Chain A
Amino acid sequence: MTTRVGIVGIGHTPFGRRSDATVQEIAFEAFRDALADAGIERDAVDASVIGSVPEYHKQRSMAGVIQEYLGLVPKPTWLTEVACASGSAAMRTAWLAIRGGVHDVVAVIGCQKMTELDTAEILALMGRVGEVQWESGFGTTFPGYYALFAQRHMHEYGTTREQMLDVAVKNHHYGALNPLAMFRKEITRAKAAASEAVAPPFQVYDCCANADGAACVILAGEKTARAISDRPVWLSGMGCATASMSVLRRPQLTGLPSAERAAAEAYAMAGITAKDVQVADVHDCFTIAEIMAYEDLGFCPRGEGGPFIEERRSYIGGSTPVNVDGGLKAKGHPIGATGVSMTHEIVKQLRGDAGERQVPGASVGLTHNVGGIGQYCFVQVLTRE
């Protein structure tokens, strides 16, 4: 019988600009904190999996360098890369390794250093975000793609600019309460509406920010998890799906079909429905992305994501609190770290350790980590006993 997989330790650096450290030094901080949280020694770790996007780093094949700096040589390590979902992909491969009986205790480290690149390098990377054969030759950008989704969502469902900016207002509200967040200031809708245009309808406050940071979770098979921790959080549902990378071959642009499918898989595995989710961290790389996530995950019917935020149903006290850690928008988005950071937050929530932003009594949580413009999506259902 395959084992359940539990989370026994978590660590997380502050997100933001780190002009004082290399990526392996940042990874070390999250790993050390996770070991301390688990109350185990480094020797207890059988393998590591690194979630990161290598083109942001000068160091090629970074997993080996991180493994060495963490002091885990000669244990196995490998890197997973699926754009902004690399962290959740790392967790999925660790989960598979434990389920398969190959490893028992695996450290998953999502990490990214995005602020070392100069403007020219950033602009060059930006130009290759889309499908390069048929789309990038026209100067597409990441906000540009999500703006195509937003315009269509507004057209089909009447979603408004105010509703989109309400997502930013909410996420900054919770970011202000999160000591690990990059932006710890409340904003008003008026301030967001006055920000510079990026790709209409988006303005600066619709977009998350590049950041540096790392997060770590330590996973273990059930027997070991119970021996290590008196309050493990279980990976009860693990969904993963893809969608066409190109918008030329994606029939509907008002949601992410990969997210819908990954959520259905995760709910079925966990034996729950969307209604059972008490707290969620979703991939709000742009404001419309959070609105589409409400719908893709079934927190509200298709097309009602706008009213869902307008009626404050994703605030604590609403039907499904979402991104009460500030989300990508206010916490920051060091892309490889983000998926692991989401799991870190849900573990804190399920342990009851989230302080001022605690969702009272939460025992079922969810993460939704998207790569690119939805070509990859990972959904986790996390539970406690």
Chain B
Amino acid sequence: MFKWFGLVSYTPHTKVAEFAEHLREGRLVGSRCTACGVTAFPPRADCAACMSPEFEYAEVSGRGTLHTFTTIVAAPAGFEHLAPYVLGLVDLEDGGRALAWIGKTVKPEEIAIGMPLQVVPRMLEESEAIRVYYSLERPGTTWPRTPPPQ
């Protein structure tokens, strides 16, 4: 059910649809190619290295450091009510990157390139439909079932 992923979903179908179900269960998973062992986050079904279509999900720690960030003031359709919101891009210690909102456990004045952050699986509680996402939080933060940053 990949259409659960993100506040607005443009992707109903993908070979890595189970990612969203793992996220709903509080697990952050990447992919591992069962032919050559190469891992990826976000997951991909078809190995970028050896082109094998065989893969398995592998949980990742979600620990990373902030590579860069910005604040979206002028927001696109579906996000107007959230603006301004802070977007961060983190380099993950297990490899790969994640782009997501920087959450409430991080004080705005503390946000700085190079700071450690944790990618935390989240659900939008106030939404009637299931909506899962992840946010960038202070290291050690677990899954607080709370709405996204205001």
Residues of A within 8 A of B (CB): 120, 123-124, 126-129, 132-141, 143-144, 147-152, 155, 196-201, 247-249, 253
**Are B70 and A147 touching (Cβ within 8 A)?**
yes
**Are B89 and A247 touching (Cβ within 8 A)?**
yes
In the complex, 24 of the A-B residue pairs with CB atoms within 8 angstroms, ordered by the A residue number, are A120-B77, A124-B76, A132-B10, A133-B42, A137-B5, A137-B9, A137-B10, A138-B133, A139-B7, A139-B72, A139-B76, A139-B82, A139-B85, A143-B74, A151-B113, A152-B68, A152-B113, A155-B113, A197-B71, A198-B73, A199-B73, A248-B97, A249-B97, A253-B89
Binary contact track B61-88/A, C-beta < 8 Å → 1, others 0: 0000001111111111111101101010
**Are B77 and A137 touching (Cβ within 8 A)?**
no
A249 to chain B, nearest CB (A): 8
Contact (A135, B99) CB under 8 Å given A126-B76, A127-B8, A140-B87? yes
| Closest chain B residue, CB of each to CB of A248 | B97
The CB with the most chain B CB atoms within 10 A, among A127, A144, A155, A197, is that of A144
Instruction: Tell me the chain B residues, 76-115 only, with Cβ under 8 Å from chain A.
Output: 76-80, 82-83, 85, 87, 89, 96-101, 113
Question: Which chain B positions have C-beta within 8 A of A152?
Answer: 67-68, 113
Binary contact track B1-40/A, C-beta < 8 Å → 1, others 0: 0100111111100100000000000000000000000000
| Closest chain B residue, CB of each to CB of A136 | B10
Question: Which chain B positions have C-beta within 8 A of A198?
Answer: 73-74
**Are A133 and B14 touching (Cβ within 8 A)?**
yes
17 other contacts beyond A141-B72, A148-B89, with CB at 8 A cut-off? A123-B76, A123-B77, A124-B77, A127-B79, A128-B76, A134-B42, A135-B99, A136-B6, A137-B8, A137-B133, A138-B99, A140-B76, A148-B69, A152-B67, A197-B73, A247-B97, A253-B68
Measured CA separation A197–B74 after assembly (Å): 8
Contact (A144, B72) CB under 8 Å given A136-B8, A139-B82? yes
Question: Which chain A positions have C-beta within 8 A of B42?
Answer: 133-134, 248
B115 to chain A, nearest CB (A): 12
Describe B's contact surface by its main secondary structure. Answer: loop
Q: How large is the interface on B (under 10, 10 to 19, 20 to 34, 35 or more residues)?
A: 35 or more
Q: What is the number of contacts between chain A and chain B, taking CB atoms within 8 Å?
A: 111
Measured CA separation A333–B72 after assembly (Å): 22
Question: Which chain B positions have C-beta within 8 A of A138?
Answer: 6-7, 87, 99-101, 133
A131 to chain B, nearest CB (A): 9
Q: Which of A132, A201, A248 contacts B98 (CB 8 A)?
A: A248
Residues of B within 8 A of A (CB): 2, 5-11, 14, 42, 67-80, 82-83, 85, 87, 89, 96-101, 113, 133
A136 to chain B, nearest CB (A): 6
Question: Which chain A positions have C-beta within 8 A of B97?
Answer: 247-249
| Closest chain A residue, CB of each to CB of B10 | A132
Question: Which chain A positions have C-beta within 8 A of B76?
Answer: 123-124, 126-129, 139-141
Question: Which chain A positions have C-beta within 8 A of B98?
Answer: 248
**Are B67 and A127 touching (Cβ within 8 A)?**
no
**Are A148 and B70 touching (Cβ within 8 A)?**
yes
Question: Which chain B positions have C-beta within 8 A of A134?
Answer: 42, 99
| Closest chain B residue, CB of each to CB of A126 | B76
Measured CA separation A200–B87 after assembly (Å): 11
Contact (A248, B99) CB under 8 Å given A137-B10, A151-B70, A152-B67? yes
**Are B14 and A139 touching (Cβ within 8 A)?**
no
Measured CA separation A104–B67 after assembly (Å): 49
| Closest chain B residue, CB of each to CB of A201 | B70
**Are A126 and B77 touching (Cβ within 8 A)?**
yes
Contact (A151, B7) CB under 8 Å given A123-B80, A126-B76? no
| Closest chain A residue, CB of each to CB of B16 | A133
Question: Which chain B positions have C-beta within 8 A of A139?
Answer: 7-8, 72, 75-76, 78-79, 82-83, 85, 87
| Closest chain B residue, CB of each to CB of A129 | B76
B88 to chain A, nearest CB (A): 9
Question: Which chain A positions have C-beta within 8 A of B7?
Answer: 137-139
Question: Which chain A positions have C-beta within 8 A of B96?
Answer: 248
Contact (A133, B11) CB under 8 Å given A155-B68, A248-B99, A253-B68? yes
Question: Which chain A positions have C-beta within 8 A of B2?
Answer: 133
Q: Which of B6, B14, B74, B99 contacts A141 (CB 8 A)?
A: B74
Measured CA separation A137–B67 after assembly (Å): 19
Contact (A141, B75) CB under 8 Å given A134-B99, A147-B70, A248-B96? yes
Measured CA separation A247–B91 after assembly (Å): 11
**Are A148 and B9 touching (Cβ within 8 A)?**
no
**Are B70 and A253 touching (Cβ within 8 A)?**
no
| Closest chain A residue, CB of each to CB of B134 | A138
The CB with the most chain A CB atoms within 10 A, among B9, B10, B96, is that of B10
Measured CA separation A123–B72 after assembly (Å): 13
A35 to chain B, nearest CB (A): 41
| Closest chain B residue, CB of each to CB of A147 | B70
